[in-house]
Amino acid sequence: MIQIRSDTSAVISDAAKGFVNAWNKGSSDPIATFTFSSPAQLFSIITPKRWELIEHLQKIGPSSIRGLARSLGRDVKRVHDDVTALTNWGLVERTKDAKVCVPFDVIHADFDLRAVA
């Protein structure tokens, strides 16, 4: 899940509640949550080209960066840069055979955009 939350203490509190719940149940639901502090931060990491890359990679499965760039019709260096940024955030992973993949079947984004008072 992708969310935007600027209230750091609320994010930490929710994470703690999730930990306690998982501890009490003896397991946890395998939901990765990516929290961004603002829409600007979200859109600086998940640009339109990177979102297209994520969707395409979900569709084709694990791929080499060169193969991914070819199938997207993009420059290999730019795709490499995008994959690196997405890997740093955990949205893309490398397989044992050095290919890249999206480890999620579904990515859910949940946020509200509101006027600042």
Q: Is 111 exposed, middle or buried (0-12, 13-18, 19+ CB in 10 A)?
A: middle
Is 19 a member of any domain?
yes
Domain count across the chain = 1
pLDDT tens digits for 69-116? 999 999 999 999 999 999 998 899 999 999 999 988 887 777 667 776
For residue 117, tell me if it sits in a domain: no
Residue 115 lies in a domain: no
Residue 64 lies in a domain: yes
CATH at residue 15: 1.10.10.10
Residue 94 covered by a domain: yes
Q: Is 20 inside any structural domain?
A: yes
101: phi then psi, degrees, rounded to nearest 5: -150, 160
Q: Which domain holds residue 42?
A: 2-110
Q: How far apart are alpha carbons 88 and 59 in whole angstroms?
A: 21
Beta-strand relationship, 93-94 and 100-101:
antiparallel
**Is there a domain that residue 30 lies in?**
yes
Per-residue pLDDT, 48:
94
Question: Which of 9-23, 27-41, 44-58 is predicted most confidently?
Answer: 44-58
